[in-house]
Amino acid sequence: MSNNQRLRVYFTGVGGQGTLTATNLLARTALMVGLDVVAGEVHGMAQRGGVVESVLLLGGLKSPRLDLGEADVILGFEPLETLRGLPYLHKGGTVISSSNPLPPLSVALGQAKYPDLATIKANVTEVASRSYFVPCRDLGLLAGAIQSGNTVLLACACAAHVFPFDLEALAQGIKTFLPAKIQASNLKALELGAQEYEKLAAEKA
């Protein structure tokens, strides 16, 4: 996409995953490369396990509000929350989601059933023109920290040309905006995310 093209990104995950940290990293990277950025938290719960939703709007959009059916992209840090957030995506949009489940408390207590990944993928495919499911937690661990799995997801989105900046810009964002002690694992996660995208894209070709 071009620098002045409008893009509405919806993020969804659960508390404790670092969804808002990932949103902030992406927003600050976009600002760093000269884009107009509006970011906001749609809904957030401080406790671990609560649903966290945020939005990032690029290209001169002025309000952080995002209505159902308006998102161009969903970045889902947990597959069930990706499914729950699907109504925000417009027909033909892009979904990039973690494939590693982090079941909510209701599932852990046996009060609800977690849908299998095939069901989630089928629902996403009905709406999205492009979708990629990435083992973010697994690759985050491989990079050195589970939390860096969020960067795996962002890297996959960059490699898929979802944003008007590239992996090099995101790498610079990591070096500029993240604490020094977590930069190495996140830069490794960036590399793993790009590699995973190439693998998934080749499978779909």
pLDDT level of residue 90 (50, 70, 90 thresholds): very high
Of residues 51 and 14, the one with the higher pLDDT is 14
For residue 42, the model assigns a pLDDT of 65
Condensed to tens digits (0 to 9), the pLDDT of residues 40-50 reads 776 554 455 56
Strands 130-134 and 71-76: unpaired
Residue 166: CB atoms within 10 Å: 13
For residue 102, the model assigns a pLDDT of 86
CATH topology of domain 7-204: Pyruvate-ferredoxin Oxidoreductase; domain 3 (3.40.920)
- The stretch 74-96 carries a mean pLDDT of 95
pLDDT at 3 over 60: no
Alpha-carbon span 98 to 93, nearest angstrom: 17
Residue 203: CB atoms within 10 Å: 8
- The stretch 148-177 carries a mean pLDDT of 96
- Residue with token string 């070709």: 205
- The stretch 143-152 carries a mean pLDDT of 94
pLDDT level of residue 77 (50, 70, 90 thresholds): very high
- The stretch 84-106 carries a mean pLDDT of 91
- The stretch 50-78 carries a mean pLDDT of 86
Condensed to tens digits (0 to 9), the pLDDT of residues 129-146 reads 999 999 999 999 999 999
Sequence ranges of the domains in the chain:
7-204
- Residue with token string 């109504």: 87
Q: What percent of the chain has pLDDT over 90?
A: 70
pTM above threshold 0.85: yes
Strands (E), 15-70: 37-43, 51-58
For residue 46, the model assigns a pLDDT of 46
pLDDT at 19 over 50: yes
